[in-house]
A = this chain, B = another copy of it.
Amino acid sequence: MPLPEVSQFIPHIAYDSVVFGFSKGKLKILLMEYHDTGWFALPGGFVERSENLEDAVKRGLNERTGLKEIYLEQFHTFGDTSRYRPEVMRRILEANGHLIPENYWMLDRFFSIAYYALIDYEKVTLMPDALSDSIAWYEIDKLPDLILDHGKIVQKALQTLRENLDRKLIGGNLLPERFTMNELQAVYEAILGQKLRRTSFQRKMLSLDILDRHEKLFTGKSHKAPYLYSFKTH
């Protein structure tokens, strides 16, 4: 695969995405591991010359997860000069066997527009890109070191997600269509990083009038079966 040409993309502009998923009671994000470097990074990419910014992000996420409809939110643009570390991208490209031209555009200073995405963990089919060995889930509190300022980007994403959780009622995007109240509470607890009172949480969620109640879920466990809920589509 040849090196991307600057004629196709807007120089100096990139996006990075913090893709949140929820599984086994843990909040997780997607990380790429680059060939032969041991380096981890957020899934990101560039914007084509005639492409809307948000379409570029969706395109990139679709290529890596197979998902078409994704809950996406822009949260910050990172533009410090300290991000300019051409030797990092050089090493990544060289580790892929590329010969890098003089003044190659991908080694320039980049501004990164960061988005977070909330997706249903079970619906994802992970596909690495050309530069990466792998793309995989990592627990949010067991992340490896990340290149450049990607660690800071993750922290800012998590902070914004926490602030938006109640205001935008977005927790459900991390669950399948139908879920139990207990599962929803576990999502909230994982995002906020703290336990919530079961009865208060249930009362609050029901009083918001955003949930539909469906049939009971019989798990085979020896106790009362919980109802399944879904978010109202209105």
A-side residues, CB < 8 A to B, are 10-13, 47, 49-54, 74, 76-77, 79-81, 109, 111, 113, 163, 167
Chain A contact surface mostly: mixed
Bound-state CA distance A214–B20 (Å) is 48
Contact between B53 and A77, CB atoms less than 8 A apart:
yes
Residues of B within 8 A of A54 (CB): 79-80
A207 → chain B, closest Cβ, in Å? Answer: 21
Beta-carbon nearest neighbor of A51 in chain B: B81
Q: Shortest 5 CB-CB distances between A and B: which pairs?
A: A53-B79, A77-B77, A77-B113, A52-B80, A10-B12
Bound-state CA distance A80–B77 (Å) is 15
Beta-carbon nearest neighbor of A80 in chain B: B52
- Contacts A12-B12, A12-B13, A13-B111 aside, 19 further interface pairs with beta carbons under 8 A come to A10-B12, A10-B109, A11-B11, A13-B13, A13-B79, A50-B81, A51-B81, A52-B79, A52-B80, A52-B81, A53-B77, A53-B79, A54-B80, A74-B76, A74-B77, A77-B77, A77-B113, A111-B113, A163-B167
Residues of B within 8 A of A13 (CB): 12-13, 79, 111
Bound-state CA distance A63–B77 (Å) is 23
A182 → chain B, closest Cβ, in Å? Answer: 29
Residues of B within 8 A of A47 (CB): 79
Bound-state CA distance A77–B113 (Å) is 7
